[in-house]
Amino acid sequence: TELADRARAAGLLNHGESCATTDSDILGALLANGAADSSIEQAALELLPTVRGAFCLVFMDENTLYAARDPFGVRPLSLGRLDRGWVVASETAALDIVGASFVRDIEPGELLAIDADGMRSSRFAPPTPKGCVFEYVYLARPDSNLGGRSVHATRVDIGRRLAREKPVEADLVIGVPDSGTPAAVGYAQESGIPFGQGLTKNAYVGRTFIQPSQTIRQLGIRLKLNPLRDVIRGKRLVVVDDSIVRGNTQRALVRMLREAGAVEVHVRIASPPVKWPCFYGIDFATPAELIANAQGTQAAVGEMLETVRQAIGADTLGYISQHAMVAATEQPASRLCCACFDGEYPIELPSATALGKNVVENMLAAVQADNDNASALSRP
């Protein structure tokens, strides 16, 4: 709401002049407004230090490409080089795809400008790195690198550490594709239990945990995953997944595996329990919607584990510890944001009334209503 308040104060939301529905739209409007009296580069250097939150920006004017990253570096942003140009992308895998060579990461608090004369870097805020650890666990592509570390290698290492922390006797280790598979490989390597492909994935179904409704999420799970019955029939399974958010995927998955003939289903999770919402760009809903909070945010660990285990129908349930997960990233804990796991938000949050998925839309609807009322009153 801070951005929307500024845009409204500047008159950018009045009388239908802006059709902004996201914070990105509003930020763009503020940049354009600032550039009316100076260059867009100068406008960015004045605006960005005042923006509170997680952001990566890529924007252009007639002659220059700009890239900026928030002072905490919550989300990744990388610079690549082509024979006759430059590339900026949120993941290094994108550089590989277009044939660009990786140059470096955009630094937290940095504004980069690239034009015909070359590249120049400006620091609009001191860096305080707090990269999102969930990028390593789930969000980033496995063929990307984060902080110089292969995402795939990190996930395999998480699986090895998970096997050491949460061992179980079983016949086969399977991963929940795609992001759970590398951790499953690591679990199998460390435990000595064979790894197998027990699930097939429909590549045309997107991420289910960010779908807008429970019904669509549950339907998406059935469309997304299907068990290989000949592989899992009669087996005691270790099922490795990247995370549990609402529990929809795991509940449906355990049921499918049992129906397909699995005699035991032991669920192992390659991240700690998700107990707090993300306010830095990921839809983790409200605390009450997170299955780890079914008994309240202050429930004892053992009680929470048993509640989640029963809810998803698994024979056993085990999460990796936060310490082991962080160790697998090879990053200092002080440089990572783990707020969805420990509730320690590195960027100060606004008041509860200024939080929520639809806060920008609600404010803009109120602005439009005010404008409509003003227009009605001004008519003769």
Whether 378 is in a domain gets the answer no
Q: Check whether residue 299 and residue 320 sit in a common domain.
A: yes
A 10 A CB-CB count for 265 gives 26
Whether 255 is in a domain gets the answer yes
Residues 6 or more apart in contact with residue 166 via CB below 8 angstroms:
268, 318, 319, 320
pLDDT at 122: 98
**CA separation for the pair 340, 355 (Å, rounded):** 15
Whether 144 is in a domain gets the answer no
Instruction: Give yes or no for a contact between 253 and 269, defined as CB atoms under 8 angstroms apart.
Output: no
Whether 153 is in a domain gets the answer yes
Give per-residue pLDDT as tens, 155-174.
999 999 999 999 999 999 99
The yes-or-no verdict on residue 378 having pLDDT over 80 is no
Q: Which residues pair with 102 in a beta bridge?
A: 80
Output b/e per residue, 95-118; b: 16+ Cβ within 10 A: bbeeebeeeebbbbbbbbbbeeee
Q: Check whether residue 161 and residue 188 sit in a common domain.
A: yes
pLDDT at 248: 87
Q: Check whether residue 110 and residue 233 sit in a common domain.
A: no
Give per-residue pLDDT as tens, 326-343.
999 999 999 999 999 999
A 10 A CB-CB count for 276 gives 21
pTM, entire model: 0.88
A 10 A CB-CB count for 349 gives 14
| Higher local confidence (pLDDT), 288 or 212 | 288
**CA separation for the pair 134, 132 (Å, rounded):** 5
Q: Check whether residue 254 and residue 331 sit in a common domain.
A: yes
- CATH code, 94: 3.60.20.10
For every residue of 273-290, DSSP letters joined together read ---S---SS-----GGGS
Whether 275 is in a domain gets the answer yes
Q: Check whether residue 41 and residue 179 sit in a common domain.
A: no
Q: Check whether residue 354 and residue 307 sit in a common domain.
A: no
To the nearest 10 degrees (0 to 180), the angle between helices 248-259 and 301-312 is 50
Give per-residue pLDDT as tens, 251-270.
999 999 999 999 999 999 99
Q: Check whether residue 161 and residue 285 sit in a common domain.
A: yes
- CATH code, 318: 3.40.50.2020
The yes-or-no verdict on residue 249 having pLDDT over 60 is yes
Whether 109 is in a domain gets the answer yes
To the nearest 10 degrees (0 to 180), the angle between helices 23-35 and 40-47 is 120
Average pLDDT (118-131) is 97
Whether 141 is in a domain gets the answer no
Question: Nearest-CA neighbor of 252 among 231, 282, 224?
Answer: 224
Q: How confident is the model at residue 353 (pLDDT cuts 50, 70, 90)?
A: very low
Q: Is the peptide bond before 5 cis (omega within 30 degrees of 0)?
A: no
The yes-or-no verdict on residue 140 having pLDDT over 90 is yes
Residues 6 or more apart in contact with residue 230 via CB below 8 angstroms:
none
- Strand 316-319 versus strand 264-269 pairing type: parallel
Q: Check whether residue 336 and residue 357 sit in a common domain.
A: no
Give per-residue pLDDT as tens, 75-120.
999 999 999 899 999 999 999 999 999 999 999 999 999 999 999 9
Residues 6 or more apart in contact with residue 314 via CB below 8 angstroms:
239, 250, 254, 265, 266, 267
Of the chain, the percentage scoring pLDDT greater than 70 comes to 81
Residue 313, helix vs strand vs coil: coil
pLDDT at 170: 99
Total of domains in the chain: 2
Q: Check whether residue 244 and residue 325 sit in a common domain.
A: yes
pLDDT at 209: 47
Length of the chain: 380
Q: Check whether residue 84 and residue 40 sit in a common domain.
A: yes
Question: Measuring CA to CA, how many Å separate 330 from each of 106, 159, 327?
Answer: 19, 15, 5
Average pLDDT (371-377) is 54
Q: Check whether residue 228 and residue 117 sit in a common domain.
A: no
**What contacts 24+ positions apart, CB below 8 Å, involve 284-293?**
284/245, 284/340, 285/245, 285/246, 289/246, 290/245, 290/246, 291/244, 291/245, 291/246, 291/247, 292/244
Whether 27 is in a domain gets the answer yes
Q: Which residues pair with 171 in a beta bridge?
A: none
Q: Letter for the amino acid at 15?
A: H
Average pLDDT (359-379) is 57
Question: Nearest-CA neighbor of 49 among 76, 77, 21, 30?
Answer: 30
Q: Check whether residue 239 and residue 261 sit in a common domain.
A: yes
> By residue range, what is the domain housing residue 203?
149-342
Instruction: Give yes or no for a contact between 38 and 47, defined as CB atoms under 8 angstroms apart.
Output: no
The yes-or-no verdict on residue 380 having pLDDT over 80 is no
Q: pLDDT averaged over the chain?
A: 88
